[in-house]
Amino acid sequence: MRRLETRWGWLMALPAILGFAIFTVGPMLASFAFSLTDWQIGGSPSFTGLDNYAELAGDELFWKSLSVTTYYTLGAVPLTLIVSFAVAMLLNQRARGLAIWRTIFYLPTLVPAIANVVLWIWIFNPDFGLLNSLLREAGLPTSQWVHSERLAVPSLIVMSTWGFGNTMVIFLAGLQGVPRHLYEAVSIDGGGPWRRFWHVTLPMMTPTIFYNLVVGVVGTFQVFNQAYVMTEGGPNHATLFYVYYLFRKAFTESEMGYASALAWVLFMIIMVVTFLLFRNARRWVYYEMAGAR
């Protein structure tokens, strides 16, 4: 009976295993093989070894795209975490119409990615966009926003907070899991709202904060839609994000071998950053059952 259950278990898991092997592991191994070749679409690949990786070291646009993506990550991730955490704390209060407010704040997440970008194209329009219209009404100077080399990435960082709904929901779930008796203990000791937040809410939420931090970093390193639809990497490569540069190399310039090398470098960067985040998490992430790990 045990052998029969084992066979049926493997049989039921087989579709998922085959799907992972065929559609994830297979393409990854193929892309690594392509990264060792000089291959353009329509031609035959020729083995070049590590030449593509060596060429990256002297590619100015590679370093530019990496710096732009890092800049965006360092701005967008903390801002999204702060905004989503603050809104989650507000939505964790007892108030009328709470379900309606939660729905309203989550709705932007449901907007399709391209529709979201098109909406912000109008908001950032320097002539008749919403932001400049509000600035004119207030008697303040207007801005070029994404059309300015200096303000393009900061504008996209502000735009990134629009879709904080998923992060907010995760924070809200974490807040509702904080034991009530801890708040009661602080109140009995005479602690106010700030002490409850600093000594109870924040430590108990560190695992949730860490999860959203890792997911946010991985997601922002793969940002693509904004550059592809809004700016095309401009002005003057100010928004040349890494994945957009990879896309351009693969499907505009048909350099599939070089693009595959870019993909593997990005994979290694994300692996290293994720490892460092997990290594550093031992110092500040608190688990109720086992203390800090």
DSSP for 57-109 reads: HT-HHHHHHHHHHHHHHHHHHHHHHHHHHHHHHHHTS--TTHHHHHHHHHHHH
110 Cα distance to chain centroid: 16
Contact 277, 214 (CB under 8 A): yes
Burial (CB < 10 A; 0-12, 13-18, 19+), residue 269, is middle
Alpha carbon distance 50, 67 (integer Å): 23
Sign, Cα dihedral of 59, 60, 65, 68: positive
Contact 45, 39 (CB under 8 A): yes
Contact 217, 227 (CB under 8 A): no
- Set out the domains of the chain in order of their start, with CATH numbers: 34-292 (1.10.3720.10)
Burial (CB < 10 A; 0-12, 13-18, 19+), residue 60, is exposed
Name the nearest CA neighbour of 61 among 199, 246, 216, 282. 246
Contact 184, 268 (CB under 8 A): no
Q: Which pLDDT score is estimated for 292? A: 45
Tokens of 61: 């646009």
Alpha carbon distance 258, 255 (integer Å): 5
The low-confidence residues of the chain, meaning pLDDT below 70, are 288-293
> What is this structure's pTM?
0.91
Cα 249 to Cα 69, 151, 242: the distances in Å are: 17, 26, 11
Q: Which pLDDT score is estimated for 125? A: 93
Q: Which pLDDT score is estimated for 291? A: 47
